[in-house]
Amino acid sequence: MSTWEATGVGSHPGENHFESLRVVFGEVPGLPYLPELPARGVGADMVGRTAALLIDLPVEVQPSGWRLTDRPGRDHQRAVDHLRRDLDGLEEIGHDYAGPLKLQVCGPWTLAGTIELKYGDKVLSDAGAVRDLTASLAQGVADHCAEVRRRLPGVTEIVLQLDEPGLPGVLAGTVPTASGFGRLAAVEEWRVEESLRSFDDPVVHCCAPSVPFDVLRRAGVRGVSVDASLLRRRDEDALGELGEAGVTFLLGVVPGRDVRLPDVGAIAKPAVELWRRLGFAPDTLAGQVVLTPACGLAGASPAYAKAALAACRKAAQVLREDPASGMREG
C-alpha cells in the first residue's frame, strides 16, 4: 500500500530546473520527482530525454523527428547534457532528502511508435527492433536509477514511471507509419505484457482514452497513472480487479493547464466516487490512491503548476483524515 499522498506526472513549465525542483520538493514531499522541462528544446522533450538513456542505440533529429543513427551526434549529446544538468540540480536541491523518489521515462511502446529506424519505418514496425529497444531502455533505466541512488543516498526507493500515452494506439493498430499514409499493425497484448516485465515494478502513466487496464494488470505493474476524467463505467470491472490486486492508482484530478482550482473537497471527489463505485472500503482509499494533476504541467504557468501540486496534496490529506469528506464537500 502507498503512503505517497500526492505527486506530479512529470513535466513542468519554463526552463529553470532549480526552481521546478524546489516546487516539487516543497509541494509534494511525500513523493517528489525529477521534473522535466520540455521548453528547453531538443533533447528535453519526453522522447529525446529518454533516448539519452538508451544503451548502444544513439539517436538524432531528422525533419520527421527522432531517428536511430550509427554514432552519437550533437542531438544525442544535447539530450545527455540536459539530463546530466538535471541530475546535478537534483543532487543539490535534494541532498538531505530521505524517502521515495519518482523518475519518469518514456515507455518502450510510445518510444517505438515515435523513433524511426535508420533506414525504414518506425521501430514499432519491426518486432526484433522493438525487443532490442526495450532491452536497451531497460538497461539504461537501471543505470539511471543507480546513478540517482548514488547521488541521493537518502532515497529509500525509486518509483519508476513509464509514460505510455501511445500504448492504446499500439494495441489498436492506429499508429501511423513514418510516411503518414498507412497504419502499423496492432501489437499482440502478450508482447506488451512481456516488455513491461523488463522494468522494475513500474507505474504506467497513460493520459489517453482506452487505457488497457487488463494488460497492465497481467503485466504485474505496481501502479497505473490516469486522468480521472477519462475513466468510463466500462472500465470499472478492470479497475476493480486492479484494486483487488493491490495496484496503486495515481488519479489525475486537477487539469494540467491554468484554471481556477476548486476547493479540496471537489478535487478529492472523483477519487471518492470511484472508490465507492468499485465497492472498496473508504478506509482503504488513502492507502491505495495518490492524487496528481491530470497530465504534465508543461503547458501551465509556473504559478499554476505550484498551486496544482499543492491542491493535490491538500486534497489527499483531507482523504486521509476523513475519506467520506469528498462526498460531503463536493
Which tens digit of pLDDT belongs to each residue from 135-154? 999 999 999 999 999 999 99
Q: How far is CA 30 from CA 27, 288, 292, in A?
A: 9, 14, 12
Task: Tally the domains of the chain.
Answer: 2
Same domain, 229 and 196: no
Instruction: Give the domain-ending residue among 183, 216, 249.
Output: 216
Residue 113 domain-assigned (yes or no): yes
Statement: residue 328 has pLDDT above 70? no
pLDDT classification of 46: cutoffs 50, 70, 90: very high
pLDDT tens for 180-236 read 899 999 999 999 999 999 999 999 999 998 999 999 999 999 999 999 999 999 999
- Strands (DSSP E) found in the chain: 59-62, 65-68, 99-106, 155-163, 203-205, 223-227, 248-254, 289-293
31, part of any domain = no
Cell of 252: 489525475
Assigned domain for 146 exists: yes
All cell numbers assigned to 95: 541532498
Is 30 within a domain? no
Q: Which residues contact 226 (CB under 8 A, 6 or more apart)?
A: 205, 206, 207, 211, 249, 250, 251, 252
Q: Are 149 and 294 members of one domain?
A: no
Per the CB < 8 A criterion, the answer to whether 212 and 196 are in contact is no
pLDDT in the model for residue 319: 86
Mean pLDDT of 258-266: 96
Please check whether residue 271 is in contact with residue 309, taking contact to mean a CB–CB distance below 8 angstroms.
Answer: no
Residue listed under C-alpha cell 517505438: 112
Contact 305, 297 (CB under 8 A): yes
Same domain, 184 and 46: yes
191 and 238, same domain (yes or no):
no
Q: Let me know if residue 36 belongs to a domain.
A: no
DSSP, collapsed to helix, strand or coil, labels residue 51 as helix
Answer with the one of 187, 216, 245 that is the final residue of a domain: 216
Do 46 and 178 fall into the same domain? Answer: yes
CA 210, chain centre distance (Å): 16
Domain that holds residue 240: 8-16+222-330
Average pLDDT, the chain: 95
235 and 296 both lie in a single domain: yes
Residues 279 and 176 in one domain: no
Q: Which residues pair with 205 in a beta bridge?
A: 163, 225
- Whether 223 and 248 have beta carbons less than 8 Å apart is answered as yes
Comparing C-alpha atoms, which of 261, 217, 220 is closest to residue 239?
Answer: 217
Does some domain include residue 29? Answer: no
Residue 231 within any structural domain of the chain = yes
Task: Grade residue 330 by pLDDT with cuts at 50, 70 and 90.
Answer: very low
Residue 168 in domain: yes
Query: Same domain for 56 and 181?
Result: yes
The 10s digit of each residue's pLDDT in 70-113 is 999 999 999 999 999 999 999 999 999 999 999 999 999 999 99
The C-alpha torsion from 260 through 263 and 267 to 273, rounded to 10°, is -140
Domain boundary among 188, 216, 244: 216
Same domain? 74 vs 174: yes
* Cα–Cα dist 155/253, whole Å: 27
pLDDT at 246 over 50: yes
Separation between Cα atoms, residue 104 and residue 159, nearest integer Å: 9
Residue pair 203/223 in contact (Cβ under 8 Å)? The answer is yes
Distances from the Cα of 41 to the Cα of 172, 216, 217, 261, angstroms:
31, 32, 35, 29
3-state helix, strand, coil in the chain (%, to 5): 45, 15, 35
In this prediction the pTM is 0.96
Same domain, 158 and 231: no
Contact status, residue 73 vs residue 81, Cβ threshold 8 Å? no
Residue 154: count of CB within 10 angstroms of its CB: 12
Q: From CA 327, how far away is CA 324, in angstroms rounded?
A: 6
